[in-house]
Amino acid sequence: MERLKNEFIAHLNEFLDKAADFIPNFVVMVVILAAGLIVAWAVKLAMTRIFAAVKLDDWADETGISSALHNAGIRKPPSTFIKLSVYWLIVVMFFMAGFASLGLKVTDTLASLFFMYLPRFFSAVLIVIFGYIFAGFVSRAALLTAVNAGIEYSKLIAAAVRIFIVILVFAMALEQLSIAPRIVFAAFSIFFGGISLGLAIAFGYGGRGIAKKLLEYIVKKETEKDDINML
Protein backbone atom coordinates (compact mmCIF):
# COMPACT_ATOMS: atom_id res chain seq x y z
CA MET A 1 0.00 0.00 0.00
CA GLU A 2 2.87 2.34 0.97
CA ARG A 3 4.59 1.46 -2.29
CA LEU A 4 1.52 2.27 -4.31
CA LYS A 5 1.21 5.59 -2.55
CA ASN A 6 4.88 6.45 -3.27
CA GLU A 7 4.48 5.52 -6.94
CA PHE A 8 1.39 7.70 -7.22
CA ILE A 9 3.12 10.66 -5.57
CA ALA A 10 6.17 10.20 -7.78
CA HIS A 11 4.05 10.20 -10.95
CA LEU A 12 2.04 13.14 -9.67
CA ASN A 13 5.24 15.08 -8.99
CA GLU A 14 6.54 14.16 -12.40
CA PHE A 15 3.30 15.34 -13.97
CA LEU A 16 3.36 18.57 -11.96
CA ASP A 17 7.00 19.15 -13.00
CA LYS A 18 6.11 18.62 -16.68
CA ALA A 19 3.02 20.80 -16.30
CA ALA A 20 5.16 23.47 -14.68
CA ASP A 21 7.50 23.24 -17.66
CA PHE A 22 4.63 23.17 -20.19
CA ILE A 23 2.39 25.94 -18.86
CA PRO A 24 4.88 28.81 -19.42
CA ASN A 25 5.51 27.47 -22.94
CA PHE A 26 1.77 27.27 -23.53
CA VAL A 27 1.33 30.83 -22.26
CA VAL A 28 4.12 31.91 -24.62
CA MET A 29 2.30 30.13 -27.46
CA VAL A 30 -0.97 31.90 -26.61
CA VAL A 31 0.86 35.23 -26.46
CA ILE A 32 2.51 34.55 -29.84
CA LEU A 33 -0.87 33.60 -31.34
CA ALA A 34 -2.47 36.74 -29.94
CA ALA A 35 0.44 38.81 -31.24
CA GLY A 36 0.02 37.11 -34.61
CA LEU A 37 -3.65 38.04 -34.75
CA ILE A 38 -2.85 41.64 -33.82
CA VAL A 39 0.00 41.90 -36.36
CA ALA A 40 -2.19 40.30 -39.06
CA TRP A 41 -5.01 42.71 -38.28
CA ALA A 42 -2.65 45.72 -38.35
CA VAL A 43 -1.09 44.63 -41.65
CA LYS A 44 -4.56 44.11 -43.11
CA LEU A 45 -5.60 47.59 -42.00
CA ALA A 46 -2.44 49.14 -43.47
CA MET A 47 -2.97 47.27 -46.74
CA THR A 48 -6.59 48.45 -46.91
CA ARG A 49 -5.44 52.05 -46.74
CA ILE A 50 -2.51 51.64 -49.13
CA PHE A 51 -4.61 49.76 -51.71
CA ALA A 52 -7.33 52.40 -51.52
CA ALA A 53 -4.74 55.16 -51.95
CA VAL A 54 -3.09 53.57 -55.00
CA LYS A 55 -6.47 52.41 -56.41
CA LEU A 56 -5.23 48.87 -56.75
CA ASP A 57 -8.60 47.47 -57.89
CA ASP A 58 -8.89 50.06 -60.69
CA TRP A 59 -5.36 49.21 -61.84
CA ALA A 60 -6.15 45.48 -61.67
CA ASP A 61 -9.29 46.08 -63.77
CA GLU A 62 -7.29 47.97 -66.37
CA THR A 63 -4.50 45.43 -66.62
CA GLY A 64 -6.86 42.46 -66.80
CA ILE A 65 -5.72 40.98 -63.47
CA SER A 66 -9.27 41.23 -62.07
CA SER A 67 -10.75 39.29 -64.95
CA ALA A 68 -7.93 36.72 -64.71
CA LEU A 69 -8.74 36.19 -61.02
CA HIS A 70 -12.45 36.09 -61.83
CA ASN A 71 -11.82 33.43 -64.44
CA ALA A 72 -9.84 31.50 -61.84
CA GLY A 73 -12.92 31.40 -59.62
CA ILE A 74 -11.85 34.19 -57.25
CA ARG A 75 -14.92 36.42 -57.03
CA LYS A 76 -13.55 38.90 -54.47
CA PRO A 77 -11.83 42.12 -55.62
CA PRO A 78 -8.02 41.73 -55.96
CA SER A 79 -7.34 44.02 -52.99
CA THR A 80 -9.58 41.91 -50.70
CA PHE A 81 -8.04 38.71 -52.03
CA ILE A 82 -4.49 39.93 -51.31
CA LYS A 83 -5.43 41.28 -47.88
CA LEU A 84 -7.08 38.03 -46.81
CA SER A 85 -4.21 35.94 -48.19
CA VAL A 86 -1.60 37.98 -46.31
CA TYR A 87 -3.76 38.03 -43.16
CA TRP A 88 -4.08 34.26 -43.03
CA LEU A 89 -0.47 33.72 -43.99
CA ILE A 90 0.66 35.84 -41.03
CA VAL A 91 -1.77 34.04 -38.70
CA VAL A 92 -0.50 30.63 -39.85
CA MET A 93 3.16 31.72 -39.52
CA PHE A 94 2.63 32.93 -35.96
CA PHE A 95 0.63 29.80 -35.20
CA MET A 96 3.54 27.64 -36.36
CA ALA A 97 6.01 29.80 -34.41
CA GLY A 98 3.77 29.44 -31.35
CA PHE A 99 3.67 25.67 -31.79
CA ALA A 100 7.46 25.58 -31.97
CA SER A 101 7.63 27.41 -28.63
CA LEU A 102 5.99 24.43 -26.90
CA GLY A 103 9.36 22.70 -27.14
CA LEU A 104 7.89 19.38 -28.18
CA LYS A 105 9.83 17.30 -30.67
CA VAL A 106 6.82 16.83 -32.94
CA THR A 107 5.92 20.51 -33.10
CA ASP A 108 9.58 21.46 -33.54
CA THR A 109 9.86 19.21 -36.59
CA LEU A 110 6.52 20.42 -37.98
CA ALA A 111 7.45 24.07 -37.57
CA SER A 112 10.88 23.68 -39.16
CA LEU A 113 9.32 21.79 -42.09
CA PHE A 114 6.75 24.53 -42.48
CA PHE A 115 9.30 27.35 -42.55
CA MET A 116 11.59 25.43 -44.89
CA TYR A 117 8.66 24.95 -47.25
CA LEU A 118 7.62 28.60 -47.26
CA PRO A 119 10.01 29.80 -50.06
CA ARG A 120 8.76 27.04 -52.34
CA PHE A 121 5.19 27.97 -51.49
CA PHE A 122 5.78 31.64 -52.29
CA SER A 123 7.49 30.74 -55.57
CA ALA A 124 4.53 28.56 -56.51
CA VAL A 125 2.06 31.33 -55.66
CA LEU A 126 4.02 33.82 -57.77
CA ILE A 127 4.18 31.36 -60.66
CA VAL A 128 0.40 30.91 -60.53
CA ILE A 129 -0.34 34.65 -60.28
CA PHE A 130 1.99 35.70 -63.09
CA GLY A 131 1.01 32.63 -65.09
CA TYR A 132 -2.63 33.65 -64.95
CA ILE A 133 -1.86 37.20 -66.02
CA PHE A 134 0.34 35.90 -68.83
CA ALA A 135 -2.35 33.42 -69.91
CA GLY A 136 -4.92 36.24 -70.08
CA PHE A 137 -2.59 38.44 -72.11
CA VAL A 138 -1.55 35.76 -74.58
CA SER A 139 -5.06 34.38 -75.05
CA ARG A 140 -6.40 37.87 -75.82
CA ALA A 141 -3.55 38.45 -78.26
CA ALA A 142 -4.41 35.12 -79.91
CA LEU A 143 -8.08 36.09 -80.02
CA LEU A 144 -7.37 39.41 -81.75
CA THR A 145 -4.91 37.88 -84.19
CA ALA A 146 -7.41 35.17 -85.09
CA VAL A 147 -10.29 37.65 -85.45
CA ASN A 148 -8.24 39.93 -87.68
CA ALA A 149 -7.28 36.91 -89.76
CA GLY A 150 -11.02 36.32 -90.25
CA ILE A 151 -11.16 33.03 -88.33
CA GLU A 152 -14.72 32.22 -87.36
CA TYR A 153 -14.03 30.34 -84.13
CA SER A 154 -11.40 32.68 -82.74
CA LYS A 155 -12.78 32.37 -79.21
CA LEU A 156 -12.13 28.66 -79.30
CA ILE A 157 -8.50 29.25 -80.25
CA ALA A 158 -8.12 31.83 -77.46
CA ALA A 159 -9.66 29.42 -74.93
CA ALA A 160 -7.32 26.63 -76.05
CA VAL A 161 -4.32 28.92 -75.67
CA ARG A 162 -5.47 29.93 -72.19
CA ILE A 163 -6.02 26.33 -71.07
CA PHE A 164 -2.63 25.30 -72.45
CA ILE A 165 -0.81 28.03 -70.53
CA VAL A 166 -2.82 27.51 -67.32
CA ILE A 167 -2.02 23.78 -67.34
CA LEU A 168 1.64 24.59 -67.96
CA VAL A 169 1.58 27.08 -65.09
CA PHE A 170 0.00 24.61 -62.68
CA ALA A 171 2.49 21.94 -63.67
CA MET A 172 5.30 24.39 -62.95
CA ALA A 173 3.74 25.32 -59.61
CA LEU A 174 3.35 21.67 -58.58
CA GLU A 175 6.93 21.04 -59.66
CA GLN A 176 7.98 23.94 -57.46
CA LEU A 177 6.04 22.51 -54.52
CA SER A 178 7.75 19.14 -55.13
CA ILE A 179 4.41 17.40 -55.16
CA ALA A 180 4.97 14.12 -56.97
CA PRO A 181 7.20 15.73 -59.62
CA ARG A 182 7.61 12.54 -61.65
CA ILE A 183 3.88 11.95 -61.81
CA VAL A 184 3.28 15.58 -62.76
CA PHE A 185 5.90 15.35 -65.52
CA ALA A 186 4.48 12.08 -66.81
CA ALA A 187 0.89 13.33 -66.66
CA PHE A 188 1.87 16.51 -68.42
CA SER A 189 3.69 14.65 -71.21
CA ILE A 190 0.83 12.20 -71.66
CA PHE A 191 -1.76 14.99 -71.65
CA PHE A 192 -0.04 17.13 -74.27
CA GLY A 193 1.11 14.17 -76.27
CA GLY A 194 -2.53 13.08 -76.37
CA ILE A 195 -3.74 16.52 -77.40
CA SER A 196 -1.15 16.80 -80.18
CA LEU A 197 -1.94 13.34 -81.48
CA GLY A 198 -5.67 14.02 -81.24
CA LEU A 199 -5.32 17.27 -83.16
CA ALA A 200 -3.09 15.66 -85.77
CA ILE A 201 -5.62 12.89 -86.36
CA ALA A 202 -8.58 15.28 -86.26
CA PHE A 203 -7.06 17.68 -88.78
CA GLY A 204 -5.32 15.08 -90.88
CA TYR A 205 -8.18 12.66 -91.17
CA GLY A 206 -11.45 14.10 -89.92
CA GLY A 207 -10.73 17.68 -91.00
CA ARG A 208 -9.65 17.15 -94.60
CA GLY A 209 -12.69 19.02 -95.85
CA ILE A 210 -12.09 21.93 -93.52
CA ALA A 211 -8.40 22.06 -94.45
CA LYS A 212 -9.39 22.11 -98.12
CA LYS A 213 -11.87 24.93 -97.51
CA LEU A 214 -9.28 26.84 -95.50
CA LEU A 215 -6.71 26.59 -98.27
CA GLU A 216 -9.29 27.60 -100.84
CA TYR A 217 -10.23 30.55 -98.67
CA ILE A 218 -6.61 31.67 -98.33
CA VAL A 219 -5.97 31.38 -102.07
CA LYS A 220 -9.27 33.10 -102.86
CA LYS A 221 -8.48 35.83 -100.37
CA GLU A 222 -5.15 36.48 -102.11
CA THR A 223 -6.73 36.75 -105.53
CA GLU A 224 -9.75 38.74 -104.42
CA LYS A 225 -7.85 41.47 -102.61
CA ASP A 226 -9.24 44.91 -103.29
CA ASP A 227 -7.00 47.77 -104.28
CA ILE A 228 -8.15 50.43 -101.88
CA ASN A 229 -5.45 52.58 -100.36
CA MET A 230 -6.82 52.78 -96.84
CA LEU A 231 -4.36 55.47 -95.78
Partner 1 sequence: MEFDPSPATAEAKGKGALSADIVVGIPSYNNSATISHVVKAVDAGLGKYFPNERAVIVNSDGGSQDSTPEEVIRTRVDHRAIFLTHRLYPVNRITTPYHGVPGKGSAFRTIFHMAAALGARACCVVDADLRSITPEWIELLIAPVLKEDYDFVAPLYSRHKYDGTITNSIIYPVTRALYGRRIRQPMGGEFGFSGRLASRYLSQNVWDSDVARFGIDIWMTTEAIAGGFKVCQSYLGAKIHDPKDPGADLKDMFTQVVGSLMSLTEKHYDEWKGASASSDVPTFGFKYSAGVEPVRVNMERMVNAYRVGVKNLKDVWAKVVGKDAIAAFEEISKKGGTPEFHFSRELWVRTVYDYLIAFHRKKLPDDHLLGSLVPLYFGKTASFFIEASDFTDEEAEAEVERTAEEYENQKKYLLERW
Binding site for partner 1 (CB under 8 A): 62-64, 137, 140-141, 143-148, 150-152, 154-155, 158, 221, 224-231
Of the two residues 47 and 143, which places its CB atom closer to partner 1 in the complex? 143
Of 40 and 142, nearer to partner 1 (C-beta) is 142
Q: How far is the CB of 145 from partner 1 (least distance, A)?
A: 8
Nearer to partner 1, 2 or 152 (CB): 152
Q: What is the 3-state secondary structure (H, E, C) of the chain?
A: CHHHHHHHHHHHHHHHHHHHHHHHHHHHHHHHHHHHHHHHHHHHHHHHHHHHHHCHHHHHHHHCHHHHHHHCCCCCCHHHHHHHHHHHHHHHHHHHHHHHCCCCHHHHHHHHHHHHHHHHHHHHHHHHHHHHHHHHHHHHHHHHHHHHCCCCCHHHHHHHHHHHHHHHHHHHHHHHCCCCHHHHHHHHHHHHHHHHHHHHHHHHHHCHHHHHHHHHHHHHHHHCCCCCCCC
Nearer Cβ to partner 1 (17/62) = 62
CB of 60 to partner 1, least distance (A): 12
Q: How far is the CB of 217 from partner 1 (least distance, A)?
A: 10
Residue nearer to partner 1 on the CB measure, 63 or 80: 63
Question: Does residue 29 contact residue 98 with C-beta atoms inside 8 Å?
Answer: yes
Residue 222 Cβ vs partner 1, minimum distance, rounded to whole Å: 8
Closer to partner 1 by Cβ: residue 85 or 145:
145
88: nearest Cα among 125, 45, 44, 127: 44
